[in-house]
A and B are shown apart, each in its own frame.
Chain A
């Protein structure tokens, strides 16, 4: 599954599963950019059909509802939805 990379500070593997039409997904992406964190993202609705199920399967491991945005931080926690404080908190050390 091809992901797009955004450069920034290395905070481990940060992956954002998003939809190209979803308002809260754009807000999440903008927040990550504002925080200057390196991350990969994928618009699941724009994937080839055969790859959509792989993506949904990955999301459902962390978020059984399979909802968007799902942000997976360094394979240790997931933030579901645009929860600004939680996202900021995940990267403040």
Chain B
């Protein structure tokens, strides 16, 4: 899908899905509908040109292996929600922002700079021979589950299987 092929209906449909999924997981989309829908359009554009919904507010070369941390919802959303009340784009906001108890301020970039990203740390797993199943952790929301393989989709935040890492 090219940027020009994305209709307002496409944006509306995607918005509804994201809004529902956010609500189910205890998250909220930003209250400024027009702004939020621009970001949703950006996600659709990125999905069309890169094949995955890279963060609309971050630069991508379209190489998925380099962008796993910034596929929306990104690895930085939850810490940014905790600290600033919004994700980097302000697509997702906290309860405090939604109820006007906190005002929206620019969220500094939490993603490490390019030169440091290659050495992205992998989690140190505790090797315990007694576990009957491996434990998988969702890098987006921290959900843990013990099963042979990570789930196809995180039941909490809807991140895909490739966002999971072996935890134990």
Interface, chain A (partner B; CB < 8 A): 19-26, 44-45, 49, 52, 56, 60, 64-68, 81-83
Q: How large is the interface on B (under 10, 10 to 19, 20 to 34, 35 or more residues)?
A: 20 to 34
A21 x B59 contact (CB < 8 A): no
Q: Assess A44 versus B57: contact at CB under 8 Å? Given A23-B38, A23-B42, A64-B113.
A: no
B35 touches A20 (CB 8 A): no
Residues of A within 8 A of B45 (CB): 20-21
Asked if B108 is at the interface (CB within 8 A of a chain A CB), the reply is: yes
- Bound together, the chains give a CA A33 to CA B3 distance in angstroms of 24
Q: A25-B57, A83-B106 are in contact. List 7 more A-B contacts (CB 8 A).
A: A19-B57, A23-B42, A23-B56, A24-B106, A60-B114, A65-B113, A81-B108
Q: Is the interface of B mostly helix, strand, loop or mixed?
A: loop
Contacts of A26 in B (CB 8 A): 38
Confirm or deny: B121 has a beta carbon within 8 angstroms of a beta carbon on chain A. Answer: no
Question: Which residues of chain B are near A19, meaning CB under 8 Å?
Answer: 56-59
Which residues of the partner chain A approach B56 to less than 8 Å between Cβ atoms? 19, 21-23
Instruction: Report Cα–Cα, A44/B136, bound state, in Å.
Output: 36
How far is A64 from B60 in the complex, measured between Cα atoms in Å?
16
> Distance in Å from the Cβ of B123 to the closest Cβ of chain A?
23
A86 to B35, CA, bound (A): 21
Chain A residues positioned under 8 Å from B114 (CB to CB): 56, 60, 66
Known: A21-B45, A23-B56. A67 touches B89 (CB 8 A): no
Interface flag for B159 (CB, 8 Å): no
In the complex, per-residue mask of B80-100: 1 if CB is within 8 Å of any chain A CB, else 0: 000000000110000000000
In whole Å, how far is B28's beta carbon from the nearest beta carbon of chain A? 16
Separation in Å of the B154 CB from the closest CB of chain A?
Answer: 24
Q: Please name the residue on chain B nearest to A67 by beta carbon.
A: B109
Is B59 touching A44 in the complex (CB atoms < 8 A)?
yes
Check A21–B106 contact: CB distance below 8 A: no
Q: Can you list 16 contacts pairing A with B, beta carbon distance less than 8 Å?
A: A19-B57, A20-B45, A21-B39, A22-B58, A22-B89, A23-B38, A23-B42, A23-B90, A25-B57, A65-B109, A65-B113, A66-B59, A66-B114, A67-B109, A68-B58, A83-B106
